[in-house]
Amino acid sequence: MAEYVYIQNYTRNGNMGISHFVFDQIAAIATNQVQGAILLDPVSATFKLHKPISCSIRNGLVNVKIHVILVKGAPVDEVCLAIQDNVSNALAMMTEMIPFKIDVVVAGFAEKKEIN
């Protein structure tokens, strides 16, 4: 797995690379902006996930997997689609790359007061 994705350098003054940790951070920020969802807390997770977001880079393409908790009563398909759209837009805008795949895993539900 690649540690960096090298982006087009128009100045030819050297190489420019983006670490896979940056993709994790961008995806986390974009996910937390969506109403009705919050990233799964790795400490309280049933299965003790190491990270709520995992990004892998293969052949210059980014695969993102996001584990979230939704508010009870929230429309699952709409919230998950909003997360995918928001993360896709954020990654494309900030890194000049279109992500290959964004998977959203609903890890549970919580009351609204528990999420805030």
Chain segment 60-70, per-residue pLDDT in tens = 678 899 999 99
The pLDDT score that the predictor gives to residue 51 is 80
Chain segment 6-48, per-residue pLDDT in tens = 776 667 787 777 887 888 899 999 999 999 998 887 665 455 5
Q: DSSP H helical segments within the chain, as ranges?
A: 20-32, 76-95, 112-115
Q: Token pair of 15, please?
A: 């190489």
Q: Is 24 within 8 Å of 51 (Cβ atoms)?
A: yes
Domain boundaries, the chain: 21-115
What pTM value is reported for the model?
0.81
The pLDDT score that the predictor gives to residue 59 is 75
Q: Is 27 within 8 Å of 100 (Cβ atoms)?
A: no
Q: Which CATH class is domain 21-115?
A: alpha beta
